[in-house]
Amino acid sequence: MRRGSLLVDVRERAEWDAGHARQALHVPLGGVPARLAELEAEADGRPVVFICRSGARSARAARTAVEGGLREVRHGGGGMAAWTAAGLPLAPAAGRVL
């Protein structure tokens, strides 16, 4: 089992392109149900943490994942807004949160 967690950004493409966490995987909210098996495999036993702009979409994604059978699921309350407020890095480096 690998250490850490799998961070999954569920925002839309334009939001992702404007700025995202470097280590995040992009899966727009609407694509989460169809990609649960992929997320489980990618997580490889690590917790899956969903993130969006403010926390609402990530909470929905987390519920969908739990209902789909994933274990160790969380959502990043406060989202990317809290991420940038905490001074955490974005990709691209000059990115911003939409």
Residue 19 backbone dihedrals phi, psi, to 5 degrees: 170, 130
**Catalytic (active-site) positions:** 52
Spatial separation of the C-alpha atoms in residues 94 and 62, rounded to whole Å: 29
